[in-house]
Structure 1
Amino acid sequence: MKETLVVVGAGQIGQAIARRIGVGKQIVLASLRIEEAEQAVELFRHAGFSATAASVDVSSRASVSALVEQACQLGPITGLIHAAGVSPSQAPVAAILRVDLYGTALVLELFGNVMASGGSAVVIASQSGHRLPALSQQQDRLLALTPAEELLQLDFLQPGQVLDTLHAYQLSKRANSLRVMAEAVRWGQRGARVNTISPGIIITALANDELNGPRGAGYRSMISGSPVGRAGTPDEVGHVAALLMGPDGTFITGSDILMDGGVTSAFRFGDIAQPVAQGGA
């Protein structure tokens, strides 16, 4: 049986990574909307890849469990790309926390139970997690270690504590990198690795929603004020993920790679002004 690579969130970033590392593997392209997954599968098959479509709702344990079972039937799971999520302009606070925070914890838990020895995973977090003000050591530990089913009951994630959708997004993305750091210990017991990538503004459907949404001016300011002076591309994320998931990255686990064109640097030490809310995108 072929090794299986699972892509949770078959958008442009997930596809770009899969193109880099999916040759010779059975690729499962999963999205909330099966139509999106099927469109991605058609593109991959026409390019010579072996691919199959799946539907998954990362905020549902039953749905993620079904995806794990489907993938295991195809062959040993040696790769996972988790790129599903919603942005501050796409959903209310509760949905962001359930998809971006709880959903990521769920995917890490359930795929971590079956990942083959030598396997690796990348979770797509965000530069936004790097600009959330420091949390307490106890809050960090709670985000990293609280069982997935109890995460959304944490006191500092309750209504009134989370200020707005941007704050919810930042908390979720900070939690993603903390969660991966903790999960790397458990995954290591199976001989597997897991890391996060925290991209800046990468031109995707999600980024375009933000650029054309209520925070569009702030996004454009981040791009123009960054040291690189441009947005990134999905293929650039794919290059970094290929390093982390491939043979040259076998000493890297539990780590987070910030790749934002220097936007975070400019927030801290340059000319980009901090927004009135909790931070940038």
Structure 2
Amino acid sequence: MISSVIVVIGSGGMGLPIARRLGLGRQVLLGDYSAANLSTAEKVLTGEGYSVTTLQVDISDFDSVDKLAKKAAAVGSIEAIVHTAGVGPSVGSARRVYEIDLVGTANVIDAFLPVAGPGTSLVCISSMAGYLCPPLEPELEKHLATASRDQLLSHPGLNVDSSDARAAGMAYAFSKRGNLLRVQSMAKAWGARGARINSVSPGVISTELGRQEAMTGPAAKFVETSPAGRVGTPEDITNVVAFLTNPSSCFITGTDILVDGGVVSSQRWNKA
């Protein structure tokens, strides 16, 4: 009988290959906002021999994420949670980006903490954008790291001019920086339960969204001038997630692994 549970939030271009990599011999619980995406992913994985359960979830709503966490705990011992869900700047308003990418990640961290146990590993997929945003004031960094999820959006430093075409992009970068800080600040609480929490910050990855970004705008220049000279693949990210959810990484917690083909280092030291 399968009693070990792998939770993957987001069943798209990043979530599906992660579920494949981690899910064999375990019960896979998939969460996604889109019922259609969930149905497709469930059919694909079930057809490949995986044991899959699904639940529609809105990560911007704590109660919705809490239901997912409680369902996971009811299924069995939670071995890993991988949070891949999020939106890019193209979603529209800066407010919605904050609600999903910033508050949504805090909701996942908080909801799964009570059901985490010895050996549980949470990996939050962030973005290299968290490294490329302008430096934040220490007080704002502290707020992003430690404020309650209900108060996360109350800081005036997060206000962006909605009439500015860059507003959603700025909100995205601030959110991803906030993800890294939140993971750091919550490592002690997760450690008290014998569990670990880390994040992974991908660069431009060849998912559907990533391929669109790589063809236009700054992302195309990032790829062109990076040391790797290519976009990343979902496998590049999956390899790191597999390591972080494996006992061989048991001394790693409260940190981020940047998987960007060298974009951030190049932007800092080799920018023309």
Q: TM-score w.r.t. structure 2 length?
A: 0.94
Distance 2:43 2:78 in 1: 22
1:118 is paired with a residue of what secondary structure?
coil
Distance 1:76 1:116 in 2: 8
1:80 is paired with a residue of what secondary structure?
strand
Aligned pairs for 1:104-115 (under 5 A) are 104-115=105-116
Deviations 1:247-267 (A, max 9, x none): 210000001001100111111
Q: Does 1:261 align with 2:264?
A: no
Aligned to 1:74: 75
Q: Percent identical across equivalent pairs?
A: 38
Aligned pairs for 1:170-181 (under 5 A) are 170-181=173-184
| Aligned residue identity for 1:10 | S
**Shift, 1:209, TM fit:** 4.2
Q: Which moved more, 1:158-167 or 1:137-146?
A: 158-167
Aligned pairs for 1:145-224 (under 5 A) are 145-160=146-161, 164-211=167-214, 216-224=216-224
| Aligned residue identity for 2:258 | L
Aligned pairs for 1:3-42 (under 5 A) are 3-42=4-43
Q: Which moved more, 1:84-93 or 1:232-241?
A: 84-93
Give the paired residue count: 269
Aligned to 1:84: 85
Structure 1 vs Structure 2 CA RMSD:
1.6
| Aligned residue identity for 1:237 | I
Distance 1:74 1:67 in 2: 11
| Aligned residue identity for 2:176 | K
Distance 2:63 2:244 in 1: 29
Q: TM-score w.r.t. structure 1 length?
A: 0.91
Q: Are the equivalent residues in 2 in contact too, given 1:34–1:53 (CA < 8 A)?
A: no
Deviations 1:155-198 (A, max 9, x none): 21234499611110000000001001111110000000010000
Distance 1:75 1:219 in 2: 41
**Shift, 1:76, TM fit:** 2.0
| Aligned residue identity for 1:178 | L
Distance 1:116 1:183 in 2: 15
Gaps of 5+ in 1: 274-281
| Aligned residue identity for 2:229 | G
| Aligned residue identity for 1:72 | A
Distance 2:228 2:160 in 1: 37
Distance 1:73 1:32 in 2: 21
